[in-house]
Chain A
Amino acid sequence: AQKITQTQPGMFVQEKEAVTLDCTYDTSDPSYGLFWYKQPSSGEMIFLIYQGSYDQQNATEGRYSLNFQKARKSANLVISASQLGDSAMYFCAMRGGWDSSYKLIFGSGTRLLVRP
């Protein structure tokens, strides 16, 4: 079975500072993908970053980087130089392999508030 855990319901960060959003996962699939999505108040799901289970290097996309620690089963999102527009809900998600019917499941989310 797949499981995604986000233990931080809410986080504050000062504008221009970096922030780390935690995510741990569990799966029996040997191959899987880890995602982070941003959901503003309007509701749309905005894809931020992806990490494959076999990727050797941590993924980076602009100000977003994923701290992937496979042995610890963690995939934390790091946002550098926070901006006011980063205030939103952030969801960690995992897509399993064949054993999990390639489903994409989500963690409970972290609400990030960037303070000016």
Chain B
Amino acid sequence: GAVVSQHPSWVICKSGTSVKIECRSLDFQATTMFWYRQFPKQSLMLMATSNEGSKATYEQGVEKDKFLINHASLTLSTLTVTSAHPEDSSFYICSATGQPNSPLHFGNGTRLTVT
């Protein structure tokens, strides 16, 4: 089946540094990728929608200058948390899909801890 690889699976960084999370579709072309954030014991909150070759569309309340999303190819999207702070500590998970009505495939998530 279709696989989405997300890397790293966990990362610890110091406050003020930036962290990049990669999301790769391994065996299909992902025209659209979604980035979610999940705080403990809460649901997945959509942060942004990323379409290959165009700017990401951010959900209301998500700072686009803090959460930089790049979808430069049909198999790779990256989320960069810039100047991370402890409140950015969370579980970040991506999902990818090909055509609009195709199934969504999820990465295994990245647990970010900012100290």
Contact = CB atoms under 8 A, between A and B. Distances in A.
Interface stretch (A18-26, A58-66, A68-76, A97-105): A97-105
Given A47-B103, A91-B43, A109-B43, A104 B108 contact: no
A95 B101 CA distance: 9
A105 B101 CA distance: 15
Q: In which size bucket is the chain A interface?
A: 10 to 19
Residues of B contacting A: mostly:
strand
Q: Name, among A35, A98, A102, the residue most crowded by chain B CB atoms within 10 Å (CB to CB).
A: A102
A99 B103 CA distance: 18
B110 to A, nearest CB: 9
Interface of A: 33, 35, 43-45, 47, 50, 91, 95, 98, 101-109
